[in-house]
Amino acid sequence: MTEMISVHDLSVEFQLLQSKKWPWSDAAVLKAVNGVSFSVDAGKTLGVVGESGCGKSTLVRAIAGLVKPSAGTVTLEGKPVNYSSRADLQALRRRVQMIFQDPVASLNPRMTIREIVAEPLTMFFPEMDAEARTTRVHALLDRVGIPRRNANRYPHEFSGGQCQRIGIARALAAEPKVLLCDEPVSALDVSIQAQVVNLLQDLQRDMGLTLIFVAHDLGVVRHISDEILVMYLGGMMEKASADDLVNDPQHPYTRALLSAVPVPDPDAKLNPEVLDGDLPSPLNLPTGCLFQSRCPKRFDRCTEQRPQPRFVGERQKACHLEALTV
């Protein structure tokens, strides 16, 4: 398989200037993403899961250039992306597009649907005339299931699911190779979620798209993903194929996430692994393993040394428990 996108040791930090007690004192640093590395092959889907506040959205925003990475590299089709170069960012946004969590807020309420979908065409294909843009807009709306007769309506006249379809059409207008989906179905009803996920899969198959799909719902992620990456406090805990990770979770955090997934069988015997305490603040990360303060299997080494992700077969995981069995 051809590698489409590769992320190596990516970190994102924010300086909180409002935390400074005095003008000469240092600002607090929020570490949103901590040295995450992965790659996604062309035409495949990587699912990213974890609790709220684990850095999933910041990760995909950093890849898209909406947030500048503090360290690390992103390689697209074998070429490193220079986030300090305006020309590189323009080329990146031509090939990498985002679908956002709130389908209504992500659309300009003062623009018609025709203008929203045509905007990327104007930006990336300036040679296209008005008639060609209109034809392309109609084709994109047809493709995502929005009747072209509604092209002159405004976002508030559509439902949440329809607005998300319009957002997908806008993303496709740039003819990207990678779609970054930042919880695109979390604000939708369950039946609409299925429709949007099926639409994304159809588009991926027909257009050869590569997807990075962020979500909380492990059922949705398993359905759409080839591989799943589990994040906690900005770091990668485990990465494996979707089936392997769901059927045989090995990291304690992954097992805790999966045990919290509702089971539709009332006779099933459940043995949930409940996480103690709340997610620590990214302003004050735990020493050693990021998960050690809540891990039921921690031991001395967990509090002293941070485990680095390493391959165990086809699986990657960051856990000292593996060292005990080697």
Is residue 75 within 8 Å of residue 38, measured between CB atoms? no
How many angstroms separate the CA atoms of 164 and 170, rounded? 10
What does each of the 326 residues of the chain score in pLDDT, given as a tens digit?
689 999 999 999 998 877 667 676 777 888 999 999 999 999 999 999 998 889 999 999 999 999 999 999 999 999 999 998 888 898 899 999 999 999 899 999 999 999 999 999 999 999 999 999 999 999 999 999 999 999 999 999 999 999 999 999 999 999 999 999 999 998 888 889 999 999 999 999 999 999 999 998 888 899 999 999 999 999 999 999 999 999 999 999 999 888 877 766 666 555 666 677 778 888 888 888 999 888 888 888 998 899 988 888 889 999 988 654 43
How far is C-alpha 57 from the geometric centre of its chain's CA atoms? 6
How far is C-alpha 9 from the geometric centre of its chain's CA atoms? 16
3-class DSSP string for 51-111: CCCCCHHHHHHHHHCCCCCCEEEEEECCEECCCCCHHHHHHHHHHEEEECCCCCCCCCCCC
Give this prediction's pTM: 0.91
* Residue ranges of domains in the chain, CATH in brackets: 3-260+271-278 (3.40.50.300)
325 is written with which tokens?
């069995």
Is residue 315 within 8 Å of residue 240, measured between CB atoms? yes
Is residue 107 within 8 Å of residue 163, measured between CB atoms? yes
Is residue 262 within 8 Å of residue 190, measured between CB atoms? no
pLDDT recorded at residue 326: 39
169 is written with which tokens?
């059409």
CA distances in angstroms from 127 to 97, 98, 115, 273, listed in the order given: 21, 24, 17, 58
Kindly report the number of other CB atoms within 10 A of residue 251's CB atom: 27
Angle between helices 160-173 and 113-124 in degrees, nearest 10: 20
| pLDDT tens by residue, 125-142 | 999 999 999 999 999 999
